Structure 1
Amino acid sequence: MGDGPVTHLVRRMESHGIVVVMPPASDPSAATVDAFSTRAARPLVVLTANRADDVYRHRFTAAHELGHLVLHGDATGDSRQEKEADAFAAEFLTPQDSILPLLPKRMDLARLAELRQVWGVSIHSLVYRCRELGLISDATTSRTYQRLRALDGQPGFIPESVANYSGEQPSLLRQAFELACKEADLSVAALAHELAWTTKRVRELLDVQEQRPVLRLVQ
């Protein structure tokens, strides 16, 4: 992978055999869970729509769940494991040896906004990284977070939707379904029946559009 920015994180996870799913916002689980991972049958990461309006939070959450898969398997996540997964995500997305020479020695939000675009992590995460690597004090960190709250919504500090980044949206399940349709004559209705789900839910999870008949006016 090299030591630079991790591009197309979700697609990269899928390319290594991890099934990633993004249920729609209407899914009941999205109200209580930000993300979930398991290695029960095969590595699976569920990313809910709670963070889909901010691609940087979305990527960190994906890296956090990857950390759980690598470090903890299916162990129940306690506070220690959550901190370990956060530390994994920070080092995975912004390796110390690579990011340290690029971080400002004095707090510079304009510089961090530039790094956000290149490294695909939030400014909040970069501020925390500055503190973690000893570049700024706790007091400076606190003042910076206060300033970021005041700048929220301003140009350069606006969240960016995951919908604008195809490499951060899962596609493996849909591709597998499309292949099964060709090779085994599978259909949404047949899969829904086998799973005892509604066809609507299956389409939402696979990100498959309903095929409606095309009406033509005949004069």
Structure 2
Amino acid sequence: MSDAFDSARLTQARQLKAMTKKEVAELIGVSPAAVGQYETGTTRPRPDLIPRLARALDVPQTFFLVGRPHGKLDASMAHFRSLRKTSSFKRDQAVSYVSQIWELTHALEKRVQLPLVDLPGFSGGEIHPGTELPGEPAAAAAELRRRWGLGTGPVKHLVRLMESRGIVVVSPPGTDAENATVDAFSTCRLPRPLVVLTSNRSDDVYRHRFTAAHELGHLVLHADVTPGDRKQEREADAFAAEFLTPKHSIQPLLPNRVDFARLTDVQRTWGVSVSSLIYRCRELGLLSDATVSRAYKRLNQLKDQPGFTSEPVSGYPGEQPVLLSQAFDLAVSSAGLSMHELATELAWKPARVRELLGVPDYRPVLRLVPSQEESNAAQAHG
């Protein structure tokens, strides 16, 4: 196995576990420099070190073998929602997570035809609707709504809409180390566009939807642009605002004075938070900066009142990703795919596959309760 060792897999596994080279080195009994050489491919680990690496990084030994499709990506290829708050270490961890999501998608797509990629500006898309979208954010949002046949009203199920257009959307659980301090991010640098909506926004469906629209903006506006520019973040916000609340549709519904009752009605109909609507009022010249400032202060005071509390995404099925889990279910029913077979193909542990698919382990849990005699014997020897 040492001769077929894939150095990139070691980097991926280490980043997924959020471990430094020094930490890995201490666990397997070598120097940090040696681990660095394994990752660059300068040298290969000795055969006896492979099992130690597998234990340290919680992967099967076969994980390190060459030959499997690898969604190679680095942090310069993804747009991060809160770039300044995200350390390079966490960005590396996040993109390794995305690489695994693509590998899982690729494995499923060999068995199931996923929705065709219909995303202007994405060079790998199967559907090319002619010219590219305008570069100005609001104009791009309006044109995308037109091409997707959305009309001028509210977008009811944004995440499901994105998935239906071939965009892979995932929302890792809150306990997943990969997204602990990462907000949200997206990339067009893999064979399918991919958006990660992290759990720190799942307590508020309106914020969740705006984040999804923001990442969609990055996909259509900045597909081939190096991420990290604050201007790009502002453009993605402008895209999201116009995509979710088109100016000519929303302006007649917004008040020209602060009216929270009216704003909450618009929030429920359009799926956009009162906070975002207040900002939209300022953008459209309906409220002054001073009025908006006072409105935000009052809104903060009302945050625990009925109608102003956060609504979790769990109550909105159309805003929860299902593409990968449903693809797996279809592969099981039509192609006889098993969880064990998929895990073996990916060289992952079955628990990791279930985690990324969001599929619970339905096996009954065996719980052994010691008899009274065993308990007494244990106490006697304690």
- Asked if these proteins are the same fold (TM beyond 0.5), I'd say yes
The Cα offsets for residues 29-82 of structure 1, whole Å up to 9 and x where unpaired, read as 222211111122111111110100000000000000000001011531310100
In our comparison, the structure showing a higher alpha carbon Rg is 2
**Pairwise CA distance, 1:101:** 0.3
Partner of 1:173: 324
Aligned equivalent of 1:112, options 263, 266, 276? 263
The Cα offsets for residues 71-117 of structure 1, whole Å up to 9 and x where unpaired, read as 01153131010000000000000000000000001111111011100
Q: Report runs of 4+ in structure 1 exceeding 4 Å deviation.
A: none
Partner of 2:235: 84
Following the alignment from structure 2 to structure 1, what is the Cα–Cα distance between the partners of residues 352 and 310? 28
Residue pair 1:22, 1:205 contacting (<8 A) in 2 also: no
Cα RMSD (Å) of the superposition?
1.6
**Pairwise CA distance, 1:210:** 1.6
- 1:17 maps to a residue whose letter is G
The Cα offsets for residues 122-155 of structure 1, whole Å up to 9 and x where unpaired, read as 1110000000000001001111111111111111
Residue pair 1:19, 1:172 contacting (<8 A) in 2 also: yes
Residue pair 1:24, 1:205 contacting (<8 A) in 2 also: no
**Does 2:344 correspond to 1:193?**
yes
Q: How does 1:117-136 map to 2 (within 5 A)?
A: 117-136=268-287
**Does 2:156 correspond to 1:7?**
yes
Residue pair 1:35, 1:61 contacting (<8 A) in 2 also: yes
Please, which runs of 5 or more residues in structure 2 have no aligned partner? 1-149, 367-382
**Does 2:216 correspond to 1:66?**
yes
Residue pair 1:11, 1:170 contacting (<8 A) in 2 also: yes
Once the two structures are overlaid, the 10-residue window that deviates more, 34-43 or 85-94, is 34-43
**Does 2:206 correspond to 1:19?**
no
Following the alignment from structure 1 to structure 2, what is the Cα–Cα distance between the partners of residues 201 and 5? 37
Structure 2 length-normalised TM:
0.54
SS in 2 for 1:158: coil
- 1:62 maps to a residue whose letter is A
Please, which runs of 5 or more residues in structure 1 have no aligned partner? none
